[in-house]
Chain A
Amino acid sequence: MIGFRLLKAVSDSVSSAEGAAADSQDEEVVTSDSADDFPADSQDEKVVVTSDSANDFPADSEDEKVVATIDSANDSPDSKTLVVVAKLQAAISPLSPFVSSMKTYAGCNSKAIWLSTATAIFLFVAVRVYVGMTQKSKHNRPGTVADLVRRGQLRSDRRGMYAQGISSLKYEDPFNNPYVKLGKSNSTVEMCGKVYKLSPVTLTKEEQATHQRRRSRAYQWKRPTMFLKEGDSIPPDVDPESVRWIPANHPFATTSSDIDESLAQTNVYQKHGVPFRIQAEHEALQRKLEGLQQDQKLNKFFIDSDNAKAYERSLKLHPKSNEAMDQNPSANQDGNSSPSSSNSSSSSFNSTAPSDELQKP
């Protein structure tokens, strides 16, 4: 492409060049520039080149024409000039078929070339415009922070660094750390493969106080001192605003409050020893066992003193009844759960240790 343009420029400088007509097959090139340099007589000498895209111009015939033209002018005073020009033309003339063929070729494909050039330029411009539009459309895309500004949730004039611009941060190194080097013009830090920029906190004490005042006006809240389940009645001397209602299925709701507050406090403060409930259960169990043992002892003693004689008499008087009682020892043993029932104890005593009683004096 570049080479063709060079050749074309050369051919244009030798012969007069018209606008490259793509459709034209034949061209008549007239050396307008060369006509100015030549004397008046040389105007008779015209190199007529007939270009045909289909045919290569035969070089020999071209030379013959030029030579014939030169020979006719040898005798004039400007013959040397003419000779030089002719020689120049002779040097260039071999290229002219090539140039003409290229012109033909160019003529046919110039449309394509111009088309491709125009397409490239168009694509370049289109991409630039698209990129520009894309960057601008970020502000108009739904779901960005701009929507929050639009809804009034965020004030655009008081936004952080993006409202102020990232271009220049006028602050000194906030960390006063010599190991972290921040350029004065480019305060960026590279960390874990990502590039970060420092943005200073802009919240002032006055703004903090303003927010506190706003919240104190907006949120009036009193700490609840009483928690009631749904359905409970409010005691008469209690401020209704200090009552917090708890749903029945809430983890804080209980059907009954078995734990005494003072007892609970004591349990929390306990540092040593057995915990209260464990101790209480242990003591209760201990008491129960002792009670059972006491009852057994009492039962044993009670049977010895009261029923020994009766047993002896019954043995002597009713031997058959003793046999009946011996046949039912299990029933008597099962009925021995209550130490207060002397009858059962006496029967069990009779069933279990008759021999001992008989042996006692």
Chain B
Amino acid sequence: MAAVAVHQFAECITCHAWSPDQSMVAFCPNNSEVHIYKLFGEKWEKMHVLSKHDQIVCGIDWSLKSNKLVTVSHDRNSYVWSQEGTEWVPTLVILRLNRAALCVQWSPKENKFAVGSGAKSICICYYEQENNWWVSKLIRKRHESSVTNVAWHPDNILLATTSTDGKCRVFSTYIKGVDSKESESSSSDLKFGEQIAQLDLSVTWAFGVRWSPSGSILAYAGHNSMIHFIDDVKSNPSAQSIPLRDLPLRDLLFLSDRVVVGVGFDCNPMIFTADDTGLWSFTKFLDQRKAAPSSSRGSQLSEAFGKLYGTSKQVPSNDTVEPSKTRGGAHENCITCIVPLWKRGNTTLCRFSTSGLDGKVVIWELDIPK
């Protein structure tokens, strides 16, 4: 019901991704390289080091069917890596950005990938067979600030983005020749770069946008410690905003249409569930908590508050000084990335991994009630 495995790979991990068979993990140890480790029994061995980028690799995604790695970096470049034998061969993708790339995700059909950037634009890249290279198409309008996260809708055409301007937008990324015209979607939505919806629920930076597995619910986190759930974005959007008790979230993951895991500055995954009427609420923290919420929340915090309250004559000063270090959970620092680990044959997701600024990758397993 909690952390199944904890692996300390580096001092700090920016992002990570798993291979299709989940035997290898690729991550960026907060530098310009991508390290790929493979599990041999109980030990992790460093198999490959991919070092083509010049600056921090801030986004990695590993396609499950075609076994391709895509990496994007602050150096405004992106590489698609394919495994040939024992080597990983990079293919440069010219994104045509003049600012850092911030996030990347393969589309569900893995024929496109989306990159969010600090240039207030998104790049949709697809493979052109005739020229044997990846072409990047930019969506330049609409965003007023950096795009922090991107999320593909299961239909392979709609893309949701969150930005530091606080808004969540949904765009159409239909590309003639790459996407087939589905009979359900109306032709007006199909124009590339067309904005389908703009959600203005957060006054602060927005992170971690995700679609539910069925594509009917959209969720994203605001930096003011709130999480927003939007139902039926395309036709009749109805939103729910839940204020969180503690620190903000950085990333989300839908385990099913009714269960969401949020990770962030609390270093502890949070579970949100929807009841039968579709009303979302916070259920619990996944990891064990060190102390009861009413007493000290961790040494540094109580010390700081103690000094703050201690100056007032009426309030007795806080004398308990606990040794700082572990809060007692799996992660010791902000969790920045959460990745699903699908088990073959399962329709609901119950395994996922998180990585954070403490350099750990933790694998969690849950029992989800049907």
Asked whether A and B interact, the reply is no
Question: Measuring CB to CB, which residues of chain A are less than 8 angstroms from any residue of chain B?
Answer: none
